[in-house]
Amino acid sequence: MDILVENFFNLAIMQSALPTVLTGFGMTLLLVAVVVPVGFAGGLLVALVSGARSRLLRWPMIAYVDFFRAFPPLVLLIFIHAGLPFAGIDLPAFAAVTLAFFLNTSCYYGEILRAGIESIGKGQMEAARSTGLTKLLAMTNVILPQAVRNVLPDLISNTLEVVKLTSIASVVALPELLYSAEMARSISYNASPIILAAGLYLLLLWPVVRLLSRLEHRLAA
């Protein structure tokens, strides 16, 4: 029991690791604040283009989505960070992570939003167009608000996955939460910083999980 507390819940070590881990937490928050909106915006674009009438637009988008959904995000990130420099493209860690997340998450957000858009009857678009709204205005004012509402649980659920996935940024030495905790662990030869990091992830994500389950309940009712 003592050994367990000593190695995993060592308060003294947690305290000394706290500044490092909190800095990492800050970086994780920053990362989330960048990759979630960027991924969502990319997803919107994916959804709109894959619903386009022109095959010239639609088919490349289908290929793009298929490709990056099949590409493991960790492999993608390592490729961008460690592989692209061989092609003369040397991105800083943060930019590499942002690009990898954009390519990966835009596909998932895109598929969810597309399903949402398809759930709206075509009468809505026709009514909007019949009053002189352009296709884009009808999309943004009439279709998307309803579409997003219809797939809100899936969007939140995906966002949850994205937040958790930000920990892969540690492999390119971006000092986010996992990387910082791992650093503190290797200095202290003690697992407590990892537990601390896990606690912070939980603190961040638990409210989102609660919200999601309430939404799912409400929709099921």
Q: Is the dihedral of CA 105, 51, 156, 148 positive or negative?
A: positive
- The single residue listed with the structure tokens 């949402």 is 116
Residue 173 — left, alpha, or beta (φ > 0 → left; ψ -120 to 50 → alpha)?
left
Q: How far is the CB of 46 from another protein (least distance, A)?
A: 23
- Using CB under 8 A as the binding rule, whether residue 150 contacts another protein is answered as no
Distance separating alpha carbons of residues 221 and 215, to the nearest angstrom: 10
- Using CB under 8 A as the binding rule, whether residue 131 contacts another protein is answered as yes
Q: How far is the CB of 145 from another protein (least distance, A)?
A: 5
- On whether the CB atoms of residues 103 and 68 are closer than 8 A, the answer is yes
Distance separating alpha carbons of residues 185 and 26, to the nearest angstrom: 18
User: Which stretch in 11-19, 94-102, 145-153, 176-184 sits in contact with another protein by CB under 8 A?
Assistant: 145-153
- On whether the CB atoms of residues 144 and 171 are closer than 8 A, the answer is no
- The single residue listed with the structure tokens 């509402």 is 149
- Using CB under 8 A as the binding rule, whether residue 118 contacts another protein is answered as no
- Using CB under 8 A as the binding rule, whether residue 152 contacts another protein is answered as no
Amino acid at site 205: L
- Using CB under 8 A as the binding rule, whether residue 149 contacts another protein is answered as yes
- Using CB under 8 A as the binding rule, whether residue 137 contacts another protein is answered as yes
Nearest Cα neighbor of 106 from 78, 67, 74 is 67
- Using CB under 8 A as the binding rule, whether residue 119 contacts another protein is answered as no
User: Which stretch in 6-14, 63-71, 119-127, 187-195 sits in contact with another protein by CB under 8 A?
Assistant: 119-127
- Using CB under 8 A as the binding rule, whether residue 127 contacts another protein is answered as yes
Q: How far is the CB of 216 from another protein (least distance, A)?
A: 20
User: Which stretch in 35-43, 98-106, 125-133, 211-219 sits in contact with another protein by CB under 8 A?
Assistant: 125-133
Task: Kindly tell me the burial class for residue 129, based on how many C-beta atoms sit within 10 Å of its own C-beta (0-12, 13-18, 19 or more).
Answer: middle
Report the interface residues with another protein, using CB under 8 A: 121, 123-124, 126-134, 137, 141-142, 145-146, 149
